[in-house]
Structure 1
Amino acid sequence: MDLDLGQVRAFVAVADHLHFGRAAEELAISQQAVSKRLARLEAALGVPLLTRGNVEPTGAGRRFLEPARELLRAADAAAGAVHAVGRPLRIDLWGHLYGPARTVAPVIGARPELDVELGMSRDLPAAAAALLRGDIDAAFGRVHPPLPDGVAHRLVRLEPVDVLVAAGHPLAAASSVRPSDLAGRDLWFPAAVDRLDFISRFCDEFGARAVSGGANLGVEHLPAGLLAEPGRITLFPADARLPGTPEVRAIPLVDPVPLYAWSLMWPRQSPHPMIPALVKRFAEHGRRHRWLEYDPARDWLPGEQAPAD
């Protein structure tokens, strides 16, 4: 049967908010219009989709909800594809403390035919949601499950991780540190730990404790936060540049070497026409710079699959 997308969108909005008024605000229409659209959809399907009063999906509504979301995603992607040619490829980045732009920049900088606009996103869920809404065309950062249906991703870089300490720290004289040497120690990060999947997995694996302190103001402010308390320890990608701060030492982690995984993400349905070229450029640059080297006898990945050959 032919479904009216406006009616389907009204149902999904009410099901998301469990409230007709908030759904109307999201859709920028009146509450009465939302009710009418929903009633017409239920009449066309021949079943009630939502209970009134205490608003919640019926059994039929719950079964209809995810296919309805897929329908809207497909419709939005189809509409976006019409206008994709000739406009820049919009890429959102997250994981700002670890400098995602330094991996993206050499790939797109060497290929002027890739017309790209870079933006910022708060985290992986926000970036995935923006992809599915069509607000952006691709996203770059650390990807980990669960990912929503409709999102594709490609691992593009595995980066070793160092320990950062103040020059006077007991570990500062070491030429290398094993992850197991950090067992029982607090690892400080200027961000909410529950949003740092890599750090949480590292601490679970090696017996360290993740501690949040202060706001994530970016890499420029990281040394000052580390030096604010002499005993602080943090982790940082080995290839990332710290501001010139002689009071901070970077020490390689070995046996095993933890690897931070960077991935590119894009919508499966109606991707921007430049996505294949972008994926190809990442693969070429990664091969030249050995970005995907991985030895399971030497390296540690937190639950990630080994990169494909």
Structure 2
Amino acid sequence: MDLDTVRTFVAAADAGQFQEAAAELAVTQQAVSKRIAALERKLGVRLFTRTARGAGLTIDGQAFLPHARELLRAAERAVASVRPADRPLRVDVLTSRSAQSGLLRGFHSAHPEIDLDVVMLFDIEKAVGAIRSGEIDASFRAVAAPGRPLPEDIASVRVLDEPLQFLTGPAHALAGARSVTLARLVGHRIWMPGVVPGTEWTAYYDDLVAEFGLTIEATGPNFGSDALLDTIADTPALATFMGADSRLVWPAGHGLRRIPVTDPTPVYPHSLLWHRDNPHPALATLRAHLAATAAGRDAVGTWMPDWVLPR
């Protein structure tokens, strides 16, 4: 159903005269008459009767009027739902406990007036596809793994270099260390069941292993961070890597240790991705916030893969 004809019908019903409706809609009286006639043909009923004082609604016109008003309200809601200034900023983070989520929480604290929708997509291909389709406005990712450059319409900026820490249970051989060098980790079993082939974080750890001769095992199902921490706490031979800014809580009886890694410190690069033509006004606010609060990028004594995009 053509909304212009519905809008004309409502204007004429409210005005009681086609001439006044025409003035309100900035069209000719003849255009109003043609639109009303087209709507009547579509519905198969008469909507108006001519009176000495103008145009009055028929019984069918009275019945149709509230529905016509609702059609126009629905159209307004539909337009507002995709108008950037009238909808929440949709941002993708990998997990709710990650450093990325912490960055977004910091933004929300600084700008509580901005509505946010937080989504969690698994891999970078899905995230980039969602950015390009308009499903989301931005995504936090590590970019760009070898052989997987970003499309030209996707922009990115590195916003955080997150140091990795060595996480052990209380009985691990290195549990008492204040810090450990990467060389000292050679030969120790580092268990990371969340390392999935084809993901950007797997590309990162593949390069870390190749560069420093480490042993990372991805065997067994990934039951999530809670199960990982339970296993590390109970198994002296296993340890794992954990981002320094990852927010994890474990039972006091686990006795887990988060140990800084040095010489060099491996850092995981977090970047913000967005579409170059995205008009959402809050996206510019998010980028400005991250630019003002970003810290620890390209610090001396750190390591990351060569494929990581510069700042």
Q: Which residue number corresponds to residue 124 of structure 1?
A: 124
Change (3 A) 1:270 1:250: closer
Q: Which residue number corresponds to residue 39 of structure 1?
A: none
Q: Say whether 1:292 aligns with 2:296.
A: yes
Instruction: Output the CA distance in 2 between the equivalents of 1:234 and 1:80.
Output: 47
Q: Which residue number corresponds to residue 26 of structure 1?
A: none
Counterpart contact for 2:173–2:236, Cα < 8 Å: no
Counterpart contact for 1:95–1:142, Cα < 8 Å: no
**From 259, 265, 275, the counterpart of 2:283:** 275
Q: Which residue number corresponds to residue 139 of structure 1?
A: 139
For the residue of structure 2 that corresponds to 1:167, the secondary structure is: coil
For the residue of structure 2 that corresponds to 1:85, the secondary structure is: helix
How many residues align? The count is: 225
Counterpart contact for 1:191–1:213, Cα < 8 Å: no
**From 237, 249, 253, the counterpart of 1:243:** 249
Instruction: Output the CA distance in 1 between the equivalents of 2:255 and 2:282.
Output: 44
Change (3 A) 1:193 1:306: closer
Counterpart contact for 2:127–2:139, Cα < 8 Å: yes
Q: Say whether 1:212 aligns with 2:215.
A: no
Change (3 A) 1:138 1:160: same
Instruction: Output the CA distance in 2 between the equivalents of 1:80 and 1:204.
Output: 51
Deviation at 1:306, TM superposition (A): 8.1
Instruction: Output the CA distance in 2 between the equivalents of 1:303 and 1:98.
Output: 23
Q: Say whether 1:201 aligns with 2:207.
A: yes
Instruction: Output the CA distance in 2 between the equivalents of 1:176 and 1:211.
Output: 22
Counterpart contact for 1:107–1:285, Cα < 8 Å: no
1:249 partner letter: R
2:128 partner letter: A
Deviation at 1:97, TM superposition (A): 6.6
For the residue of structure 2 that corresponds to 1:274, the secondary structure is: helix
Q: Say whether 1:255 aligns with 2:263.
A: yes
Instruction: Output the CA distance in 1 between the equivalents of 2:308 and 2:195.
Output: 26
1:249-297 per-position Cα deviation (integer Å, ceiling 9, x unaligned): 11110111111111111112334232111100111222xxxx234334x
2:235 partner letter: E
Identity among equivalent positions (%) equals 31
Q: How does 1:76-155 map to 2 (within 5 A)?
A: 83-94=83-94, 98-145=98-145, 146=148, 147-155=150-158
Deviation at 1:81, TM superposition (A): 11
Counterpart contact for 1:193–1:211, Cα < 8 Å: no
1:220-270 per-position Cα deviation (integer Å, ceiling 9, x unaligned): 333113235321121011233331344211111011111111111111233
1:180 partner letter: A
Counterpart contact for 2:108–2:114, Cα < 8 Å: yes
Q: Which residue number corresponds to residue 177 of structure 1?
A: 180
Deviation at 1:89, TM superposition (A): 0.8
Deviation at 1:99, TM superposition (A): 4.8
Counterpart contact for 2:171–2:236, Cα < 8 Å: yes
TM-score normalised by the chain length of structure 2: 0.65
RMSD across aligned C-alpha pairs, in angstroms?
2.6
Structure of larger gyration radius: 2
